Amino acid sequence: MSLELRSLSVTTQGTNLFAPVDLVIAKGEVACVMGPSGIGKSTLLNAIGGHLNNDFFITGSVFLNDKEMTETPVNKRHIGILFQDPLLFPHLSVGDNLAFGLTSTLGGTKQRRAEIDHALDNAELSGFYHRNPATLSGGQQSRVALMRALLAQPKALLLDEPFSKLDLELRHTMREFLFLQARQRHIPVILVTHDPAEAASVNGPVVVLRSTR
């Protein structure tokens, strides 16, 4: 599975936010997107994921596994996204958050529960099924958020500075965990970051967004 961006750019109110981006990310690869503040890194991710509202126009195209995604509705793209905050749904327990993410192709209450427990073990959060997300630490919440996104079996993953609120050591651990998951699941990943160390640690292409002026 590969993710391809062909001359992708976003326009709003008549102005082009950044110079068109060309990028190919192979399966298992993690690419990095950097750029000055306010240039539109989050907007780029939203464009790839399909989350932009009608105030924005997209030029260029997005291809996932050689299928054009630009016109596909957001819930059919199977492109996962993670934001800066874990955003665990507060009205659901940790386990139910994961159950929400778990793809519906897996049926049966017992099998689903087993899958979720397996994911919790993977994230070193065994036995946390019935916990209230608000009682978890920042690092734990980030892990649950990542597992939730991965349980949906996305074909690609977009991450908008998801570890920026964690301390250095935790950030390193989460990154390694993320890279491992990407390789194991053979999915392309795009990581937006401000941190040059993070950019240096990825195994894929690094793109720096530039303004058009």
Partner 1 sequence: MSFSSWPKWFMLTALAVGILVPVLVGLGETIWAAFGILPALGRHTFSLNAWQQLFELPGLATSLRLTLVSGFVATTMALTLALFGSAWVYNTSGKESFLTKLKPFVQAILVPILAAPHAAIAIGLAFLLAPSGWLARLFSPWLTAWELPPNLATVQDLWGLSLAVGLIIKELPFLWLVSLVALKQIDVSRQLSLAQSMGYSHTNAWCKIIVPQLYPLIRLPVFVVLVYSLSTVDMAQMLGPNNPPTLALATMRWYNDTNVYLLLPASAASVLLGILIAASVLLWEAAVRAAMFTGRVMIRSGDRTSNYSFFTGVLTTTLLITVMLGLLSLLVLALWSITWRWSFPDALPASWSYGYWLQLMTHVPSALQHSLIVALMSSGLALTLAVAWLEVQDRLGGQLYKLTLWFIYLPLLVPQIAFLYGLKVGFLRLGLNGSMMTVIWAHLLFVFPYTMLSLVDSWRALDKRYVQVATSLGRSSWSCFWRIKVSLLLRPLLLAWAIGIAVSISQYLPTLMIGAGRVESLTIEAVSLASGADRRLVGVYGLLQALVPLMAYSFALLLPRLVALRK
Distance of closest approach, residue 43 Cβ to partner 1, in angstroms: 13
Q: Which stretch binds partner 1 (CB under 8 A): 20-28, 68-76, 117-125, 168-176?
A: 68-76
Q: How far apart are CA 115 and CA 100, in angstroms?
A: 12
Does 37 interact with partner 1 (rule: CB under 8 A)?
Answer: no
Does 188 interact with partner 1 (rule: CB under 8 A)?
Answer: no
76 CB-near residues (< 8 Å, 6+ apart): none
Q: How far apart are CA 75 and CA 115, in angstroms?
A: 22
Q: How many residues bind partner 1 (CB under 8 A)?
A: 37
Does 100 interact with partner 1 (rule: CB under 8 A)?
Answer: yes
Q: Based on the number of CB atoms within 10 Å of its own CB, is 27 exposed (0-12), middle (13-18) or buried (19 or more)?
A: middle
Per-position DSSP letters for 33-81, written without gaps between them:
EE-STTSSHHHHHHHHHT---TTEEEEEEEEETTEE-TTS-GGGS-EEE
Binding mask 146-165 for partner 1 (x = CB under 8 A): --xx--x-x-----------
Q: Which stretch binds partner 1 (CB under 8 A): 20-28, 69-77, 181-189, 196-204?
A: 69-77
Site for partner 1 in 71-90 (CB under 8 A): 74-81, 83, 85, 87, 89-90
Query: Three-state SS for 151?
Result: helix
Does 118 interact with partner 1 (rule: CB under 8 A)?
Answer: no
Query: Three-state SS for 162?
Result: coil
> Which tokens belong to 29?
């690869």
95 phi, psi to nearest 5 deg: -65, -40
Beta bridge partners of 62: 5
Q: Please, where are the H alpha helices in the chain?
A: 41-49, 94-101, 109-122, 138-151, 168-185, 196-201
Q: Which stretch binds partner 1 (CB under 8 A): 57-65, 100-108, 131-139, 185-193?
A: 100-108
Of 2, 46, 181, 193, which lies in the binding site for partner 1, with binding defined by CB under 8 A?
46
Of 37, 91, 130, 134, which lies in the binding site for partner 1, with binding defined by CB under 8 A?
91
Distance of closest approach, residue 182 Cβ to partner 1, in angstroms: 16
Site of interaction with partner 1 (CB under 8 A): 46, 49-55, 74-81, 83, 85, 87, 89-92, 96, 99-104, 106, 109, 112, 148-149, 152, 154
